[in-house]
Structures are given as C-alpha cells and as structure tokens.
Structure 1
Amino acid sequence: MKPYYLNFRPIALATALLVTPPLHAQDADTVLAEVVQQQQKSLPIMLDTATRIDDITFADRTILYKMTLAGYEGRPGEQIYYQNYLTQQINNSLCSQTAYLLVLALGNKITYQYASSNAHPITEITLKPGDCKS
C-alpha cells in the first residue's frame, strides 16, 4: 500500500487564535465556533490527491474534521494500516504546530473521522489535552 502524504496545514482557525488577545475558555469557544463556521463555507476542499475535508464542526469542546480518503478499497489489513499511518501523521503534524497546541491547551479536542469514497468508516483519531508531550 502506498502511503499518501497528508498535508495538515492549520487553516484560519490557527491564525485566529494566535492573533486574538489572551483568551479565557469561554472566549476561545466563541472564536473557535466562528472560525469553524467561516471554514465550512469553503468545504469540501482537497488537501492532496487522496484526502478531502468534507465538513468541520465545533461542539462540546471538540473540533471534528470529517474526511474522505480516496483510494481506500477495504482490502485485508488496509484499515489497520491507515489507522496506524494516519494516527502517526496527525500526531506528528498537530503536535508540532503551536496553533493546534494552543487549541488543546484551552481544553479542546481535535478529532479526525476518515471514511472511504463510498462512506465506509476507516478510522477516527482524537487528540486531547495532554496528548502532545513536549
């Protein structure tokens, strides 16, 4: 199986949080909800040739990205492969970006739900406060 490079770039959410004056949790929730609402307007969007963000929501202190992974065929072992690969990619990418660390430090979670092109669930990966070790 050929691994797909996933381009995890912090969308406007990260920028909005970094340029906002010191935030309290309630203020941060308002900012996150507004930024996510703005980002929803540009969806769906392809991150690379295989990965599409279909939806972004913010509720119950969780940013939820619903993703489609093209090329997933459901062959034996493929789901476990992608679960391991995507978990590693998300952890490495998000835990190295200040904006996402700030989102987590404010007590939020970030969840990625992956499905195939025919809506077959592949995996769900959640980062929560404390998951990124410094």
Structure 2
Amino acid sequence: MSLLRPGLWALALAAAIFCTTPLYAQDSEQVLKSVIAEQQKQLPILLDPITRIDNISYVNHNVVYNITLYGFENRPGERVYYESYLTQQIKEALCSQTAYLLLLELGNTITYSYSSTQAEPITEITFGPETCPKM
C-alpha cells in the first residue's frame, strides 16, 4: 500500500515552499494553499490498487487528505489493524521527507481521513509538529 507518493506530493510541496523567499508564515500559507489547489486538479488519483486520494484541503493550519481504501470489509479487528498500520507507516514516511518536516515545523498538522468505498469512516490520523523527533 503506497501511503505517500514523494514524486507527486512531497516534491511539489518542497519546491513551492523552498522557492519562496523570504519565507514568512503568511507567505508559506499562501504557497501551501496554491500547491494544494494545483494538486486538487489531479484528483481523484489511485496511489495503488487499494488506495485513492479523493480530496485535499487546508483549513486552520491543517492539511486534510480524504482517502478511500478499497477492500475494507469491517471484519473484527480490521479497523484497529488499519489504524495501527497506517499510523506507523505514515509517521515513518512523514519524518523522512523534508517537505513534510517543514510543513509540520511551520505549525501545521496533517490529517489522513480514511473511508471505505461505501463512505464508511475507517480511521482518521492526525500528525502535528511534535510527531517527528528532533535530530
């Protein structure tokens, strides 16, 4: 399952943020809104056979990814499994990508909201500035 697609999301975000000089909070917020608006034009997009990003929004310093997971059947333990697995995998990916680290360090949060193909909520995971350990 591909949770983050660096070539598609992180690089565009990094390029836009790092090319903004001087980088003030207000400037970065405008750049982020612009990047998200551009990404919205590519949606929905399948990241892999079971993961589709349907929408991205940015409100109150929170980037929200609305994602559909195909094959979710709400079997016993399935929701807990997905929440644990996704939290671990996304955190690892976020903390290893400069663009997302910068996004978090600027005081933003990132929320991944997962639903089934029947629009049944599966889990919602939010990461904030405290997510990644400082090196």
Aligned residue among 1, 4, 9 for 2:5: 9
Query: What number of residue pairs does the alignment pair up?
Result: 130
| TM-fit CA distance, 1:7 | 4.1
Q: How does 1:48-63 map to 2 (within 5 A)?
A: 48-63=48-63
Measure, in 2, the Cα distance between the counterparts of 1:70 and 1:47.
Answer: 12
Q: Which residue of 1 aligns with 2:99?
A: 99
Distance 2:48 2:20 in 1: 30
Q: Superposition RMSD on alpha carbons, in Å?
A: 1.1
Residue 20 of structure 1 pairs with residue 16 of structure 2: no
Per-residue deviation at 1:40? 0.4
Distance (Å, rounded) in 1 between the aligned partners of 2:76 and 2:60:
35
Partners of 1:16 and 1:69 in 2: CA distance = 29
1:19 to partner: Cα distance: 2.6
Provide the C-alpha distance between the structure 1 equivalents of 2:99 and 2:82, rounded to a whole number of angstroms: 25
Structure 1: state its 5+ residue gaps. Answer: none
Q: 1:56-71 maps to which residues of 2 (within 5 A)? A: 56-71=56-71
* 8 Å Cα contact 2:72/2:116 also seen in 1: yes
How much has 1:130 moved relative to structure 2? 1.6
* Alignment correspondent of 1:124: 124
Question: Which residue of the partner structure matches residue 43 of structure 1?
Answer: 43
Identity %: 55
| Alpha-carbon distance, 1:24 to partner | 1.1
- Aligned partners of 1:106 and 1:124: how far apart in 2? 22
SS at match of 2:74: coil
Q: How far does residue 6 in structure 1 lie from its aligned partner after superposition?
A: 1.8
Once residues 19 and 74 of structure 2 are traced to their aligned partners in structure 1, the CA distance between those partners, rounded to angstroms, is 42
- On the 8 A contact 1:6/1:89 being kept in 2, the answer is no
Give the aligned partner of residue 75 of structure 2.
75
1:18-58 CA distance string (max 9 Å, x none) = 33224111111100001101110110001111100000001
Amino acid at match of 1:110: I
**3-state SS of 2:48 partner:** coil
Counterpart code for 2:119: A
Q: Tell me if the contact between 1:61 and 1:107 (Cα under 8 Å) persists in the aligned partners.
A: yes
